[in-house]
Structure 1
Amino acid sequence: MSVADLPKIELHLHHEGAAPPAFIRQLAFEKKIDLSRIFTDDGSYAFENFVHFLQVYEAATSVLQSPEDFARLTRAILEESARHGVVYTESFLSPDFCGGGDVAAWKEYLHAIREAADQAERDFGIILRGIVTPVRHFGPEKAKRAALCAAETAGDWIVGLGMGGDEGQGHQGDFAYAFDMAREAGLRLTTHAGEFGGPESVWEAIRDLNVERIGHGVRAIEDTKLVQELAARQITLECCPGSNVFLGLYPDLPSHPIARLRDAGVKVTVSTDDPPFFHNTMSREYDMLASAFGWDEDDFRALNQTALDAAFCDADTKARVKEKLESA
């Protein structure tokens, strides 16, 4: 068996960012919206750097205008993920894109997404859970509205709060109110840090938001004390190596610090982030990591066990996912 054929857990996937370009082009055609500027001649997403990527991301998301659109998107995402062996995924969902942060509208979108996810589980065997995600560059006040949406729908399906967006905007602590609200509702916490923000952004995430997972977090390797802190606290990093290389954070995969972090005792997992934007899949991640670091089946099974331990879902769901991992 190739490592790419192993069943996989993915903990860091942006829902809108996983939209296949053809899907977005079709929606734009149906709605008579001209999005030609965000695609290359071969139909891929076109962007020049991380900030431009965020702009293209939001432009693509602009055609997702109804619960039905998100239901269709959810099925498309899960079918593609299942094709690459993903048996469980946690997806970042933003109420800003699903009803504009209004709780009643968010519940309608969420209902449609969950129905599509349930059908995809029956059809493809993949389990989805949601992490509500404020968008950092939209500011702390909108983050509070997103956190309220999260708190109002917390349970066995909405299992966490995270934060994405431009790490260059503000500080982690600016969003403490939103994270405290989610924590009080029983939600688990993660946030993007240590990608473009550097080691200090990871320190802020630990100190000011008290998260148990970090999205990316790889720049922690630049601070020995921070690496030791992550290992001691058993904070899990949601690493996205292919994304980091594509966006120029590292020149190539052998330069990526995931292996060094793992060797230092930091809990690491593997995800694709925004796969169609970065021409990536979970199968390709596994193949590239095996080639770059010599990892074998045992290494990837251990990574999946780390991911299962760090997953925000309940014990019953973890038991079902464990069966899917072991059945292979």
Structure 2
Amino acid sequence: MAKAELHCHIEGATPPALALAQAERYGIDTSRFIRDGQYAWEDFTSFVESYDATANLFRTEEDYALLAETYLTGIAEDGAIYSELIVSPDQGDAVGIGADAYISGLAEGAQRAKVKTGIETRFLVVGIRHFGPERVVKAAEYAARRPHPLVTGFNLAGEERMHRVADFARAFDIARDAGLGITIHAGELSGAFSVRDALDHVRPSRISHGVRAIQDGDLVKRLADEGVVLEACPGSNVALKVFPDFQSHPLRALHAAGVRVTLNSDDPPFFHTSLAREYEVAASIMGFSDAEILGMTRTAIEAAFVDAPTRQRLLSAL
């Protein structure tokens, strides 16, 4: 089945084998965050630490090209025709190559994957919530300059329990005025109120996660009425104990209520999942039919931050 993904953090998509190879190249001890060939963490805080340690294993443009090419080629082999990657210019600065070289390397990898498989890719520049509003404004200003044609959207991620959504309204205004697509992490670690705040203060066309909206029936109806698309990541939600298991996950209930939902992998190897597994879980555990799952893929392409000709070409591929 053709697949499409709107929500994947590129550093969080690093296969452990690639992380280990990078660590060997740079002489880095990985025992703190990789054990028995798997990422090691216990809760959200330690997950972020493990994620950051992995991200710092990539230090050159070619490193980032290899990362993007590896991930995109892999999901294309599993049927993906489209992927939006969440990218952080702050990470380029953190490793010392700068934001432009960081984006350029990832774009080179995306192009290599496209040549090999045909997969289409776009980038969402992300501001990191726990870095504070001013740093997020700087990320939005960087995205608004359109540093590469593949940059088409803006997101806010990080520790959802820090700061108010309203604190980031200026950053989203900057991105919106530049014509970028808007999405925001909400309704994952924080409850339904964070989804409502996102709708009120940011006015996104999509919400990253958003699944805890299920706690508020009126909010679920609002999401359905306004056509806001949820970038659902069931495997991530279960791994982080947002919900105890797939049977308890509200994706089926949200879909039945008319909310537009999509399937995504978030940080796949950290959560022992993949885009293909998310599709498999939707079918085998959540009970979605092939037609319903194909409808989610169609929704993802309809909600993608791409130009009209690209969207039509992707829809035709379904």
Give the TM bin, normalised by the shorter chain: over 0.9
In 2, Cα distance between equivalents of 1:131 and 1:101: 19
State yes or no: 1:79 paired with 2:73. yes
- 1:22 maps to which of 14, 17, 31: 17
State yes or no: 1:96 paired with 2:97. no
In 2, Cα distance between equivalents of 1:83 and 1:206: 36
Per-residue deviation, 1:203: 0.8
Aligned to 1:3: none
Which amino acid in structure 1 is aligned with residue 6 of structure 2? L
Which amino acid in structure 2 is aligned with residue 119 of structure 1? R
Per-residue deviation, 1:319: 2.0
- 1:312 maps to which of 290, 302, 305: 305
- 1:43 maps to which of 37, 40, 44: 37
Which amino acid in structure 2 is aligned with residue 194 of structure 1? G
8 Å Cα contact 1:101/1:145 also seen in 2? no
8 Å Cα contact 1:101/1:142 also seen in 2? no
SS in 2 for 1:175: helix
Q: Counterparts of 1:174-253 in structure 2 under 5 Å?
A: 174-253=167-246
Per-residue deviation, 1:100: 4.3
Aligned to 2:288: 295
State yes or no: 1:284 paired with 2:272. no
Q: Counterparts of 1:64-143 in structure 2 under 5 Å?
A: 64-100=58-94, 105-143=98-136
Per-residue deviation, 1:101: 11
Higher mean displacement: 253-262 or 106-115: 106-115
Per-residue deviation, 1:145: 1.5
Matched residue count: 318
8 Å Cα contact 1:245/1:252 also seen in 2? yes
State yes or no: 1:173 paired with 2:152. no
Per-residue deviation, 1:99: 2.6
In 2, Cα distance between equivalents of 1:185 and 1:116: 25
In 1, Cα distance between equivalents of 2:239 and 2:6: 19
Which amino acid in structure 1 is aligned with residue 26 of structure 2? K
In 2, Cα distance between equivalents of 1:159 and 1:74: 17
Per-residue deviation, 1:35: 2.1
State yes or no: 1:60 paired with 2:54. yes
1:268-323 Cα offsets, whole Å, 9 max, x none, are: 00001100001111221122111223222111111111111111111121122123
8 Å Cα contact 1:270/1:303 also seen in 2? yes
In 2, Cα distance between equivalents of 1:245 and 1:107: 35
SS in 2 for 1:159: strand
Quick one: percent identity of the two aligned structures?
42
- 2:251 maps to which of 252, 258, 265: 258
Structure 1 unmatched runs, 5+: 1-5
Per-residue deviation, 1:163: 1.0
Higher mean displacement: 112-121 or 193-202: 112-121
In 2, Cα distance between equivalents of 1:155 and 1:231: 33
**Deviant stretches of 4+, over 2 Å:** 99-102
8 Å Cα contact 1:156/1:313 also seen in 2? no
Q: Scaled by the length of structure 2, what TM-score is found?
A: 0.96
Aligned to 2:155: 162
In 2, Cα distance between equivalents of 1:108 and 1:139: 24
SS in 1 for 2:189: coil
Per-residue deviation, 1:155: 6.8
Per-residue deviation, 1:265: 0.9
